[in-house]
Amino acid sequence: MLKKISIFSVGVMALSCTPTPEKSTPERPNVLLIMADDMGYSDLGFMGSGIQTPNIDKLASDGVVFAQAYNTGRCCPTRASLMTGLYAHQTGMGWMTASNLGSPGYTGDLNKQCVRMAQVLKQADYACYMTGKWHLTYDPFMEADGPKHNWPLQRGFDRFYGHLTGGGSYFTTPTMTYGNDRVALPDDFYLTQAVTDSTVSFLMHHFNTQKEKPFFTYVAYYAPHRPLHALQEDIAKYRGQFINGWDKNREQRFERLKALGIVDENWTLTERDAHVREWESLTEEEKQIWDARMAVYAAQIDRMDQGIGQIIQTLKENGELDNTLIIFLSDNGGCAEYQGGNLTLDDLPQLGNEEPAQSYRTNWANVSNTPFREYKSFVHQGGISTPLVMHWPEQIKAKGTVTKQVAHVIDLMPTLAELAGADYPKSFEGTAIHPLPGKSLVPAMNGDVFSREPLFFEHEANCAVIEDNWKLVRKRNPQPPYEGNWELYDLTVDPTEMHDLIEEQAGKANELQQLWEQWARENQVYPLDGRGWGVRVKSDLGPPAIN
């Protein structure tokens, strides 16, 4: 099903000020894969968020928006699935890089039974570059003198500038790496801009030295991951813009999503999170403080979008925009994690700087994931739903449309392999490789909607399976064996998971549970582990075997 997007007209200097040079069209596209970090389902400007993202909006209005696209609910597993085309547990990254939990699905380090996207495309003679957040090797192996077997250059990329770690400051990140070497930070360092600048630099070097080759460039922004760090010039654009509060902002987004056809008219907006107060019950001082938090979050996304505009302009000036497939998505839903203490009005002039380090918390994460419930790390729709935009002027025929084709990050490997004319290997460097569970999205880029096999999810004992219109899902029990109660939803009529049908449809629930159990047994998901971050790190079982 397709619906034409009616995105408001935007004047985007980065997309309109330079004539496109003539060029001969290669048979295979360049690929620019852009991932945001902890950005919610409805945070883009054209979705009614109030955040200025004109460059991404333009990609959407001239490309295809996937309304039902999924990630894995957390950064490391999503990046593992994105880069390998496999379920994260198959790669050893069922949890995070912080710990080896002692079972094959949870070593915290990518194993030998998977091959990375750059390694596949390199076989098809693509030049491969990466900038930004890697977060796909065991934490102790990120040290400069540690093993580098799972660093980007060892996994197919020709050039890399970014951070191996999963988090930190935007201003004083201590682990920026160029190639295989640590590099010092300039005095005016801001991570989002550094990722943009290095991407432009890599592309210009490519155009000046080997333009005849197609390129694959993976840009993994850290924005808008906590802490709330942004440039004051960007923050100033948003102070006071969210003073109407989270209740009205959620309603505004919901109405805009319906107008775009991203959500249907019969959808129900989830209720405000029970832990969040009604906006009108706040004092005027509290409203100003919460408005300021959201202003910084918006500024983080704004600066990322500005960077995407610079990258697009670089492609355009070098005659490569038309034959570049640009893909944009997020690694998980909005993040409800708590960082920093209480603020006062006196703190607000400094908010966005190194200190005070803050997060926007459940209050605004609930807005980011409109119209869904739950957050990063959960596998209800709010945790696993991502905006997914594909833009390729020369080939996408159904421009400016919304497709209801179900998509998952595991689909990007078969999609790009098909477009690149690359063979996904049965073995690599002498080791058998898991076959791909995903499907190519090439038909969906031009309007076709196809049926597919069930999709499966597990993170921290949060579990789900989606088959056709049915979704079986459960939240972890905090106590061993961590198995919570299953819930069943018909996504055709209840995509926001408001009406649990587990009792009325017990047969269907049992059928889906058996599917999930079979997948879990076959994909290294057991034993389930639902402990929290602090306990897990303390129980680390030591480094995984180096693969």
Whether residue 12 lies inside any domain: the answer is: no
Which residues face 132 on adjacent strands?
A: 162, 220
Query: What is the pTM (predicted TM-score) of this model?
Result: 0.94
Contact 108/96 with Cβ under 8 angstroms? Answer: yes
Whether residue 14 lies inside any domain: the answer is: no
Q: Give the per-residue SS3 of 338-395.
A: CCCCCCCHHHHHHECECCCCCCCHHHHHHHHCCCCCCCCCCCCHHHHEEEEEEECCCC
E-assigned strands of 90-171?
Answer: 127-133, 159-163
Q: Give the per-residue SS3 of 492-522.
A: CCCCCCCCCCCCCCHHHHHHHHHHHHHHHHH
Is residue 493 pLDDT above 50, yes or no? yes
Whether residue 525 lies inside any domain: the answer is: yes
Residue 200's CB is within 10 A of a number of other CB atoms, namely 17
pLDDT score, position 397: 85
Whether residue 435 lies inside any domain: the answer is: yes
| Secondary structure element (H or E) that encloses residue 77, with its range | helix 75-84
As for how many domains the chain has, the answer is 1
| Of 539, 538, 547, 524, nearest in space to 103 by CA | 524
Q: Give the whole-angstrom CA distance, residue 299 versus residue 51.
A: 8
Segments forming the whole domain that contains residue 122: 2-7+25-538
Query: In this predicted model, what pLDDT tens digit does every residue of 305-353 receive, in sequence order?
Result: 999 999 999 999 999 999 999 999 999 999 999 999 999 999 999 999 9
Chain mean pLDDT for the chain: 93
Whether residue 301 lies inside any domain: the answer is: yes
Write the CATH number for 415: 3.40.720.10
Query: In this predicted model, what pLDDT tens digit does every residue of 219-256 receive, in sequence order?
Result: 999 999 999 999 999 999 999 999 999 999 999 999 99
Q: Give the whole-angstrom CA distance, residue 528 versus residue 410.
A: 22
Whether residue 252 lies inside any domain: the answer is: yes
310 backbone dihedrals φ, ψ, rounded to 5°: -65, -40
Whether residue 546 lies inside any domain: the answer is: no
Task: Output Rg (C-alpha) for the chain, integer angstroms.
Answer: 22
Q: Give the whole-angstrom CA distance, residue 161 versus residue 314.
A: 18
- Looking up tokens 């905090």 gives 478
Whether residue 423 lies inside any domain: the answer is: yes
Q: Give the whole-angstrom CA distance, residue 521 versus residue 532.
A: 23
Query: In this predicted model, what pLDDT tens digit does every residue of 170-202 receive, in sequence order?
Result: 999 878 999 999 999 999 999 999 999 999 999
Query: In this predicted model, what pLDDT tens digit does every residue of 143-169 receive, in sequence order?
Result: 999 999 999 999 999 999 999 999 899
